[in-house]
A and B are shown apart, each in its own frame.
Chain A
Amino acid sequence: MRRAVNIVPGSGTRILLALLPFLLIACLYVVASAERRAANPGDKLLPPITEMATSMDRLATEPDRRSGDLTLWSDTAASLQRLFIGLGAAAAIGLVLGLTLGLLPLASAGLSPLVAVVSMIPPMAILPVLFIVFGLGELSKVVLIVIGIAPFLVRDLAMTVTAIPSEQIVKAQTLGASTWQLMLRVALPQAMPRLIEALRLSLGPAFLFLISAEAIAAESGLGYRIFLVRRYLAMDVILPYVAWITLIAYLLDWLLARLARRAFPWAYVQETRR
């Protein structure tokens, strides 16, 4: 008997099925937008797609009246710079602390409870303190991202390293490995693919903290623009910006996934067999 669980779509059907929900949402949007425009020709809440395209074209190709920059690209560059520095710093902290805590019982005993407690502090709640300590400039925005995701990376990597079978650790020592060699040759290679996976999972929160920081004080950036034009309900700018942020996050996620599989194929052996 043919059961629903056994119906597997072919590649063409798969693409069609994947596109369908997007098309449906687009159609609903167009209808609602037209309906609101019919009621109020000046409506700003659900602008037609043509209007969003015009606005984006203007922001991407015409220099800003005041600064002379191409708004979309300067916003994107400012935000990506903050995001990459923040992610990079958080990854470095996560890797170093994660390996140390996971491998050295002495370090773990001393630091793990602190990390566990710090990871529970909601970063947004201590924002005013961050401002006073780190100022309102670039540093505080990067620090917010780092504080937001580094504790998660540290804990995740520490758990990964702790979960390395003790047989491996014992065997490496039998072969004469020092603690330093254990860390670099046994723990690090196994932690790396996990770090990339954890970074992928952190992309969402990292963007959240980036946008929040830019909403609070900034001169440029994707979040800055959204919160600035929000003052006059310019949804023709906000909606495309949201789509753009989503696209960037999706691409970063995809790139990290590719990187992990290219650099550490052995960690994904199970996956290819499926």
Chain B
Amino acid sequence: MKTLIKNANIFTQGKFIKGDIFIERKKIAKIGGTITVNADKTIDAKGACVLPGFIDLHSHLRDPGQTYKEDIVTGTLAAAHGGYTAVCAMPNTEPVTDNIASVEYIQLRAKDYGYARVYVVGAITKKLAGEEIAEMATMKAGGIVAVSDDGKCVQNARLMLSCMKYASNFDLPVIIHPEDYSLAGKGQIHSGKVATKLGLSSIPGLAEEVIIARDIMLAENTGAQLHIAHISTARSLELVKNAKDKGLPVTCEVTPHHLVLNEEANLTFDTNTKMKPPLRSEKDRLACVQALKEGLIDCIATDHAPHADFEKEKEFDIAPFGIIGLETAFPVLYKNLVQTGKISLNRLIEALTIAPAKILNLPGGVLAEGKIADLTIIDLEQETLFSVENILSKSKNTPWLNQFLPGRVMFTICNGNITYKDSESE
């Protein structure tokens, strides 16, 4: 398949250039200038941007085990709809991805039916129970890119020390969901003014911060590569800064919702504002935006967490945590951070592409000759209504429902193949 993209605004080498892109044998064969070749398909991208395909380090595809919420087909289709060409599948499936058979199942399903690359993240501990180290080495041989107990957090520090030692032995990055259970308790939202007003049990920032502090020290002790998932407080960022200043291999991600929303979103009792970590104070949110701008936060990850309507349409304190995010990440951030001048478009693209690729040493994230043809074509000028009808994820749990969002994805191309095409595009 030879594809020629004409008249595009191409993001390459950290800047935009006008020109064409020619894709041949799954790779970018030529980029820039006017390209005249015989192609099987020609796309006129006039007025649109061609960006590297987005890479999500943090998705829950719910397959196997909870395919009524999402599966590998719908999850990767939603990813392609959002401009993503690669997602990392978190291991809190049923059964847990803590063995080679589970790893292979996801890989095979994704290879045969997926609309995006799926990288498997294996568990840190068996069944995410926080009691025994999972078979990391075997899973690494099977292709996992990192280990994580995401959704849960290893509470036992001595065990976590062993897990980090073991992971570092096999060069496996350790992704942590920082949450001290004794401090988080049965909390529902951030410990702040809104929790006081609503009388909801709360989760203090401390629950996140003490684990980050602990795991940075463990990483320093073991030499493990530590990646902190969905960071959410200003104090957590201080801890990361100290670690980075010391030269430790510590990185972190932030979600779009922690960059755009604060605890006040919970005032409506809308369960689509219930997530873990909870939406924090405005001070925390602003600290996250600043840290993203400055590069202290390395990348943006969606924490795409689908839940069925009947699960979310419940009393706030019994509804599950989490929202979908693959289809809204770019437009929500473009609208709230780029169009308002909080961060540059270049920084947003970097945090969605090359930065996550670097953290887990994944292919993609750049547009250059010889690189894999993973890219997305987005018209920044066009707005689309984000409604139930046009969400491709199986679940619809999002606080941005029925909002007009800018940045319409026209095409997503993964490995040289078109994985998503907007119905209005030719």
A and B pair up: no
Which residues of B line the A interface, CB within 8 A? none
Which residues of A line the B interface, CB within 8 A? none
